[in-house]
Amino acid sequence: MYRRIHTVLILVILSLMPLHLQGQESAGLFSSVKGIGATLRTSESAGVFHSATAFIDIYGVPTSRCSNPGIRVNVSRQYVLGRTAKGDVGMTFYAGPGITAGYVRDHDKGRGIDLTSLMSDNDGIVAALSADAGCRFDFGGLVSLDLSFAGDLGLHIRQNEREHGYFATSLSIYNNGWMQLLYPQIVFLFHLR
């Protein structure tokens, strides 16, 4: 189990490396009921910034419904909607689209809850379009706190639960993408420049 977690963490770090070449402004720790991970954010230019988040998806693991965590990577383009400041604390409101990919578990097969779906891990590949909105609190120094909400609309491809093989795949809407829309995401950012 620990070998798998170390492998996942290495993959998370490697997936975020290309963003380093684009001049990121900050890096941080991602925390949510969805999972834990890392975030990189580019410098803002003309009211737009980009962010990349990779995290370990812990759906079903704390409740022992699933045996192993998954991994999700999201890249998004954020548009600044407004700013306000009071003293040393500034707030930036933003929203924007993105894409999500990963290897995760899903809520059920998409045709209602049944015993076969509930008793299987339902692990598979997810490909989705995403949207998020949030607020970043800048404290006038080297750190900021980001609170956001994000949802995904896409497909979940996995092995057929009855035949246990990828030659007969199951395809459904990625239910956790929209069901976890109201789960808050908190990112503690460290400014690098």
The pLDDT of residue 122 is above 80: no
In contact, 40 and 187? CB cutoff 8 Å:
no
In contact, 101 and 81? CB cutoff 8 Å:
no
In contact, 134 and 94? CB cutoff 8 Å:
yes
Q: Which residue has the tokens 């230019």?
A: 45
> pTM of this prediction?
0.77
- Of 103, 116, 123, nearest to 161 by C-alpha is 116
Q: Grade residue 120 by pLDDT with cuts at 50, 70 and 90.
A: low
Domains and CATH numbers, the chain: 2-191 (2.40.160.20)
Q: Give Cα 14 to chain centroid, integer Å.
A: 16
Report the first-to-last Cα separation within the chain, whole angstroms: 37
The pLDDT of residue 183 is above 50: yes
Which tens digit of pLDDT belongs to each residue from 58-97?
887 877 777 788 999 999 999 999 999 888 888 999 999 9
C-beta atoms surrounding 125 within 10 Å: 16
Q: Grade residue 162 by pLDDT with cuts at 50, 70 and 90.
A: low
Amino acid at position 110, single letter: G
Structure tokens, 164 = 């246990």
C-beta atoms surrounding 187 within 10 Å: 24
Distances in whole angstroms, Cα of residue 141 to Cα of each of 125, 189, 190, 191: 40, 11, 9, 8
